[in-house]
Amino acid sequence: MQEDVDQRKGKVKVKLPSLAFLICIILSGLAWFIINFSKDQQQTLTYKVVCSSLPEGKKNCTLSDTTLILTFSTKGLNYLTPRYAEENRVIDIAVSELVKNKPQRSAYTFSNKELCGFLQEQGYPELLLIRKPEVITVYIR
């Protein structure tokens, strides 16, 4: 008799899944998230390059390429930190530190391997390699 009254009013009863089923779905989603993001993962990100700390007597610095495509290897949860956020993807290269062991000139060319080693020393220990560019040149005036 109650069903007849509900149908006349236009109400349709929908049977909701049990609370236990919903809890199981939430727990399995959480377990998948933790397992998936606790593994080591490789991620390729694009960074903007900025020059700073010029050698004495130099006023200006330009780069042959102002973006680097870097590949990192770290735990997946670390990629959720602000360090890897798009607005924080800027690499500040201390030019005087980068060229300190080279003879003084107005242009310096660095291979991927040299630049990767420098960046690892400067606070990017999880950096695996630099995808692009193959070579970067720093012009100092």
Q: Give every CB contact of residue 42 below 8 A, 6+ residues apart in sequence.
A: 71, 72, 73, 128
Q: Give every CB contact of residue 68 below 8 A, 6+ residues apart in sequence.
A: 46, 47, 49, 91, 115, 130, 132, 133, 136
Instruction: Decide if 16 is inside a domain.
Output: no
Give the pLDDT score at 28: 96
Instruction: Decide if 19 is inside a domain.
Output: no
Instruction: Decide if 23 is inside a domain.
Output: no
pLDDT digits (tens, 9 = 90+) for 95-127: 888 888 888 888 989 998 999 999 999 888 888
What mean pLDDT, rounded, does the chain reach?
85
Instruction: Decide if 77 is inside a domain.
Output: yes
Number of domains present in the structure of the chain: 1
Q: Taking residues 58-83, what's their average pLDDT?
A: 88
Give the pLDDT score at 127: 87
Give the pLDDT score at 32: 92
Closest Cα partner for 61 from 90, 92, 101? Answer: 92
Give the pLDDT score at 40: 87
Instruction: Decide if 45 is inside a domain.
Output: yes
Instruction: Decide if 2 is inside a domain.
Output: no
Instruction: Decide if 26 is inside a domain.
Output: no
| CB-based contacts of 98-103 (< 8 A; 24+ apart in sequence) | 98/138, 99/55, 99/138, 99/140
The whole-model pTM stands at 0.73
Residue numbers of the domain that contains 80: 40-140
Give the pLDDT score at 6: 52
pLDDT digits (tens, 9 = 90+) for 12-70: 676 777 888 889 999 999 999 888 888 888 989 999 999 988 888 888 888 999 999 99
pLDDT at 7 over 70: no
Domain CATH number, residue 60:
2.170.120
Instruction: Decide if 114 is inside a domain.
Output: yes
Nearest-5° Cα angle at 135, 129 to 141: 125
